[in-house]
């Protein structure tokens, strides 16, 4: 609100300008953060000469080249999709993982994408590593629908999408939208006293490996908003013995980094770090 005790210091023209500034500031602050982020993101795309298409109410799509391949992306305007795209595609969050895999000449046939969101990490890793199969796990129903749309838009029939979360045991969990900024990309799962109306089914990594007949897990990408503490500290970790490479985001809010890295080192993983990622290479398998 305009402070009239300060305005008296200025002349009429200056006062009018300050009033306009005050009103505009209040309007700007009232605009939803996701809407502003999407607007700024679309300016980046338009600056690259990329055509944007409106896809019904609240959605848009566009083509974008990764490597030598043009992919098509379907995104929601009022969401964190634009920030996920910037992080994974524009800023190439997983490029160090890809480079190290190539440097070590590791053949990647199977990828498990835990916390797939709208599928951008699956697409990026597919473009650079050309695996024969990817399993993309995403627990948020709304985000999962966009994940499916992105896979279908690119005819990625070798990507199997599963609408579940991963946990230490098969059960149902409750959604939690209070983590970090509370947006789509911060969606996480927590245990409750009982299954609520929005209960979300979760499974284990070992169960996924069994159901999909996975004998070697070439690359496990994990970004599950704090769920990693439950996976590493309270579950059967047999799946690690068949995992060649792991790319893991450890959320330090839960003070679990030291323990998780200790577990990986004890299982003979060589660890490196890049940005928010902890990258592990299983020396028993490579």
DSSP track, 164-214: -EE-SSSEEEEEE--STT-SGGG-EEE--SS--TT-EEEE-HHHHHHHTT-
Report pTM. Answer: 0.86
Q: What is the pLDDT of residue 180?
A: 47
Q: Does the structure show a pLDDT above 70 at 192?
A: no
pLDDT at 5 over 50: yes
- Determine the pLDDT at residue 114: 97
- 86: tokens are 């910037």
* Largest interatomic CA distance in the chain: 77
pLDDT of 256 reads 85
What percentage of residues in the chain have a pLDDT greater than 70?
A: 87
């Amino acid at each position: 609100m305009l402070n009239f005790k300060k305005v008296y210091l200025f002349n009429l023209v200056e006062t009018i300008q300050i009033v306009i500034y005050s009103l505009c500031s209040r309007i700007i602050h009232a605009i939803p953060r996701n809407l502003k982020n999407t607007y700024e993101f679309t300016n980046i795309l338009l600056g690259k000469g990329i055509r944007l298409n409106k896809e019904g109410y609240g959605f848009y799509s566009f083509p974008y080249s990764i490597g030598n391949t043009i992919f098509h992306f379907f995104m929601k305007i009022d969401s964190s999709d634009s920030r996920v795209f910037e992080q994974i595609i524009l800023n190439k969050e997983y490029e160090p993982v890809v480079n190290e895999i190539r440097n070590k000449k590791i053949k990647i046939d199977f990828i498990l994408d835990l916390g797939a969101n709208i599928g951008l990490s699956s697409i990026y890793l597919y473009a650079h590593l050309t695996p024969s199969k990817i399993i993309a796990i995403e627990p948020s129903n709304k985000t999962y629908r966009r994940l499916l749309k992105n896979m279908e838009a690119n005819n990625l029939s070798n990507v199997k999408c599963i609408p579940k979360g991963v946990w230490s045991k098969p059960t149902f969990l409750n959604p939690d939208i209070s983590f970090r900024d509370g947006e789509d990309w911060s969606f996480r799962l927590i245990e409750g006293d009982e299954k609520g109306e929005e209960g979300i089914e979760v499974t284990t990594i070992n169960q996924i490996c069994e159901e999909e007949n996975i004998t070697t897990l070439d690359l496990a990408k994990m970004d599950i908003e704090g769920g990693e503490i439950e996976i590493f500290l309270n579950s059967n970790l047999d799946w690690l013995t068949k995992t060649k490479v792991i790319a893991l985001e450890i959320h330090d809010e839960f003070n679990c980094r030291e323990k998780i890295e200790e577990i990986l080192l004890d299982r003979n993983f060589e660890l490196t770090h890049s940005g928010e990622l902890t990258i592990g290479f299983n020396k028993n398998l490579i």
